[in-house]
C-alpha cells in the first residue's frame, strides 16, 4: 500500500508540474469558472460538446498541487466521454473522496484513484473536487462562478 501511495504522490506531482490540456480552448462552446476560497484555488474549464459528448476539454487556473493535478487528470479522464458517463464518473469520484466506507474500484477509477488518499485530509477534498464542480457548471452553462463554499463539496 505504501508503494501505491508513493506512486499516487508522484502522479500528482507530475500533473501539477506538467498539467495536461492546460490552455485556452478556442473552439470551446461552454466554459465556467470555479473558486475554492479556503485554499485559493482557481480554475476555468473550457468544453467543446458535440451531441452530448465532450469532444474536447481544457483548463486554466492556479492553485495548490492537488487542485491542479485533479483538473489535469480530470481532463484526461473525460475527454471523449458522453455527458452521462461524465456524471457517473463524478458521482464515483465524489463518493471515493467523501465516503470512508467506499473502496474505490481501481479499474473504473483509473488514474483518478490517485486522489483516494485525499479523503484522509478533509480540508483538501475541496481542492480535488473543485474542477469537477466547475466542469458540471460548464456543462450546465452556468453564468455564475462556482465556489466550494456554496455547495456540499
Binding-site ranges for Zn ion (CB under 5 A): 39, 41, 64, 67, 127
Nearer to Zn ion, 39 or 83 (CB): 39
Placement of cell 508503494 in the chain = 3
For Zn ion, the closer of residues 49 and 146 by Cβ is 146
> Least Å distance between CB 95 and Zn ion?
20
How far is 115 from 70, CA to CA, in rounded Å? 8
Task: Compute the least distance from the CB of residue 35 to Zn ion, in Å.
Answer: 11
Nearer to Zn ion, 39 or 77 (CB): 39
Enter the C-alpha cell of residue 101: 466506507
Minimum CB–partner distance for residue 11 and Zn ion (Å): 17
Nearest 5°: phi and psi at 102?
-75, 135
CB of 115 within 8 A of CB of 98?
Answer: no
Shortest distance (Å) from residue 88 CB to Zn ion: 25
**Which residues, 6 or more positions from 98, have their beta carbon under 8 angstroms from its beta carbon?**
119, 125
Amino acid at each position: 500500500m505504501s508503494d501505491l501511495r508513493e506512486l499516487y504522490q508522484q502522479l500528482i506531482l507530475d500533473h501539477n508540474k506538467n498539467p495536461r490540456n492546460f490552455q485556452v480552448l478556442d473552439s470551446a462552446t461552454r466554459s465556467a469558472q470555479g473558486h475554492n476560497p479556503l485554499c485559493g484555488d482557481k480554475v476555468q474549464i473550457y468544453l467543446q460538446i458535440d451531441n452530448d459528448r465532450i469532444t474536447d476539454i481544457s483548463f486554466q487556473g492556479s492553485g495548490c498541487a492537488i487542485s491542479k493535478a485533479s483538473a489535469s487528470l480530470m481532463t484526461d479522464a473525460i475527454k471523449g466521454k458522453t455527458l452521462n458517463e461524465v456524471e457517473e464518473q463524478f458521482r464515483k469520484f465524489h463518493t471515493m473522496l467523501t465516503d470512508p466506507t467506499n473502496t474505490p474500484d481501481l479499474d473504473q477509477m483509473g488514474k483518478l484513484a490517485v486522489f483516494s488518499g485525499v479523503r484522509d485530509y478533509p480540508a483538501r477534498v475541496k481542492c480535488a473536487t473543485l474542477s469537477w464542480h466547475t466542469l458540471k457548471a460548464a456543462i450546465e452553462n452556468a453564468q455564475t462562478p462556482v465556489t466550494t463554499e456554496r455547495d456540499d463539496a
